[in-house]
Amino acid sequence: MEIVICKTKEEASRIAASIITAAVKANPETVLGLATGSTPVTMYDEMAKAVAAGEVSYKKVRSWNLDEYVGLPGTHDQSYRYFMNENLFKKIDIDLANTHVLNGLAEDPVAECAAYEKQIKDAGGIDIQVLGIGSDGHIAFNEPGTSLASRTGVVYLTPQTIKDNARFFKSADEVPTRALSMGVGSICEAKKIILLAFGANKADAVAAAVEGGVSQYCTASALQCHNDVWFFCDEEAAAKLKLKDYYSWRSSIKLQKVQVND
């Protein structure tokens, strides 16, 4: 795991976006795994800026999103399909037909999830997976207590996640209690993983994911077993890491190499 600790989320988002821009320039058919939530929005804006500047094109890029609420149509303003259209897809030149979000209204959710996994496999797998992290250490909607080998399927949100996400709904009662989500095992098949974590309320989760034991109690800890994971944190989210000075020194050297290779 490489841990990049930046002064601000803006700086972290810029660097993370530059890695994606460079990858898409190098391979215009890059397959992206994308996340929703407040965390990646600044990075998505930076990606859009690179498109507007004519630096890169997403015309041939295909994307698969991590998750979707059960019961919300893609037109609902809190659905993750709607979120992606508004916060990224409309701002870059990607072909909407190449973007995939699990269908929260699928009549047969199990078949929907199996077909989604097959689509990703047929596309050659995810080249770069973008992740946020929940305050309880979840990745996608893989809550504490989820097997680290889990595959894409129907999942149940914890009271904590419902509380965290209630800010986007009129009340906590309106937050769906189930979602379709890529599994931890499915996510870990991505070739490269970029996790973004900003703010003091992520500090415990980041410390558990990076320096805690690998445990289903913190599903992000499964990323310790992946060999190309980059955490981009602001100082607040990194505050509880014991080895933060070492990570900063090491990642600054590795980031220079990434830029030289580009």
Binding interface with ligand F6R (CB under 6 A)? 35-39, 66-67, 132-134, 138-141
Q: Name the minimum Å distance from CB 132 to ligand F6R.
A: 2
Alpha carbon distance 205, 172 (integer Å):
22
3-state class of 67 per DSSP? Answer: strand
Of the two residues 38 and 259, which places its CB atom closer to ligand F6R in the complex?
Answer: 38
Of the two residues 3 and 140, which places its CB atom closer to ligand F6R in the complex?
Answer: 140
Please tell me which residue in 46, 112, 127, 143 is annotated as part of the active site. 143
Active site residue 143: yes
Q: Name the minimum Å distance from CB 163 to ligand F6R.
A: 12
Q: Name the minimum Å distance from CB 26 to ligand F6R.
A: 26
CA-CA distances (angstroms) from residue 52 to 49, 97, 111, 252? 5, 21, 38, 28
Active site residue 67: yes
Of the two residues 41 and 246, which places its CB atom closer to ligand F6R in the complex?
Answer: 41
- The H or E element containing residue 109 is helix 109-122
Of the two residues 52 and 200, which places its CB atom closer to ligand F6R in the complex?
Answer: 200
Active site residue 138: yes
Of the two residues 172 and 243, which places its CB atom closer to ligand F6R in the complex?
Answer: 172
Q: Name the minimum Å distance from CB 133 to ligand F6R.
A: 6
Q: Name the minimum Å distance from CB 55 to ligand F6R.
A: 26
Q: Name the minimum Å distance from CB 253 to ligand F6R.
A: 28
Alpha carbon distance 146, 141 (integer Å):
9
Instruction: Return the closest-CA partner of residue 60 out of 105, 14, 25, 91.
Output: 25
* 121-131 burial: b if 16+ Cβ within 10 Å, else e: eebeebbbbbb
Of the two residues 39 and 251, which places its CB atom closer to ligand F6R in the complex?
Answer: 39
Please tell me which residue in 68, 112, 127, 136 is annotated as part of the active site. 136
Residues linked to residue 106 through DSSP beta bridges, in sequence order: none
Residue closest to ligand F6R when measured from CB atoms: 132
Please tell me which residue in 67, 112, 127, 164 is annotated as part of the active site. 67
Active site residue 46: no
Alpha carbon distance 205, 199 (integer Å):
11
Instruction: Return the closest-CA partner of residue 123 out of 223, 190, 182.
Output: 190
Residues carrying an active site annotation:
67, 136, 138, 143
